[in-house]
Amino acid sequence: MTLADVISELLQRLTAEKECVLGWEQVRHWPDGTVDFLVTVGLLKATHPAMEIECNGCVEQCLMPVEVRPTLAFVVCGDAAIGRIKIPLERLRQWQLSRDGLAKWLTGELGIKDKPELDKTTGVYTIGNFKGSKRIGRLALGFVDSVVLRIAGHELPLVEMLAVSVGTLSVDRAAVMNVVDMPPVVQKEPRYKPSDARREVRKLETAAMYKQWQSEYRKLKKANPGKSDSWIAGKIAKMEIAQGRDSETIRKNMVR
């Protein structure tokens, strides 16, 4: 596994999780120094130690709560023959990567002075304006199927915009500038479609109105047995429950 593999894995995790907490078991196979390096550049930060751990005292490898003392940690096995098992404190270490942290790192790498702003509805971070050689583009960071950098309607996987090598991680500024300088993508305004939720509300409101008409129809029919449905519909059309509908619409929907 290389540093590039680690970065790719972390970005994939962030598409599904807003905050990615990594334990010792997950990072111990990374190249030497990777965790410390990512903490130094600001992509990872140490967080609270693990409160439970997979015990390696026997083949069962149960997930056990950890008891921590100032200089040691241990789990207590339910099997009296095994008893207390010492756990190296290093195994309890955890680190956190968050979307917010990634957005802040990206802003700093690109030299943008604005603070990233999160749209809580879409989950998209606005990073700020970035100057190419021909244009100025407003950058955004999105998390859908992958972590993407959005520029003037263009959408590119962030992993493709990173320059990764041993001991270094940066944004390929030239690649970002090239995208900024591309002609903006012109998107057609989508035709308005009422939301399903609003459509369902209207259906319920209409059904409730029909029920009021039907209830009033039965009352008027009982009180005026010789009158026609058209006459009754005319009477209902003058009432508040008609809600502005004409007598013919009422007549068609008042009998059920």
In a domain, 143, yes or no: yes
Quote the CA–CA distance of 99 and 143 in Å, as a whole number: 9
- Picking from 121, 154, 181, the residue at the C-terminal end of a domain is 181
For residue 72, the model assigns a pLDDT of 87
For residue 197, the model assigns a pLDDT of 60
In a domain, 144, yes or no: yes
Are both 61 and 135 inside the same structural domain? no
Are both 66 and 141 inside the same structural domain? no
**Number of domains making up the chain:** 3
- Picking from 151, 181, 211, the residue at the C-terminal end of a domain is 181
- Picking from 77, 97, 117, the residue at the C-terminal end of a domain is 97
CA-based nearest residue to 149, from 166, 128, 131, 164: 128
Q: How far lies 22's CA from each of 49, 92, 234, in Å?
A: 10, 11, 72
Are both 88 and 106 inside the same structural domain? no
* CB environment 93-132: b (16+ within 10 A), e (fewer): bbbebbbebbbbbbbebbebeeebeeeeeeebbbbbebeb
In a domain, 190, yes or no: no
For residue 192, the model assigns a pLDDT of 46
Are both 89 and 106 inside the same structural domain? no
In a domain, 124, yes or no: yes
**Segment 149-185, tens digit of pLDDT:** 998 888 889 998 998 887 789 998 898 998 888 888 7
In a domain, 189, yes or no: no
Are both 76 and 151 inside the same structural domain? no
For residue 93, the model assigns a pLDDT of 92
In a domain, 90, yes or no: yes
Are both 222 and 171 inside the same structural domain? no
- Residue entry with tokens 């972590």: 147
C-alpha angle with apex 89: 87 to 94, nearest 5 degrees?
115
C-alpha angle with apex 221: 218 to 223, nearest 5 degrees?
110
Are both 86 and 103 inside the same structural domain? no
Are both 104 and 57 inside the same structural domain? no
Q: 67 has which bridge partners?
A: 74
Are both 93 and 105 inside the same structural domain? no
In a domain, 187, yes or no: no
**Segment 69-80, tens digit of pLDDT:** 888 898 888 777
Give the residues of the chain that fall short of pLDDT 50.
Answer: 192, 194
Residues 6+ apart with CB under 8 A from 140: 124, 125, 126, 127, 149, 150, 151
Provide the whole-model pTM: 0.65
In a domain, 186, yes or no: no
Are both 93 and 9 inside the same structural domain? yes
What six digits make up the tokens of 107? Answer: 């802003």
Are both 211 and 158 inside the same structural domain? no
Are both 79 and 34 inside the same structural domain? yes
Expressed as residue numbers, the domain containing 236 is 196-253
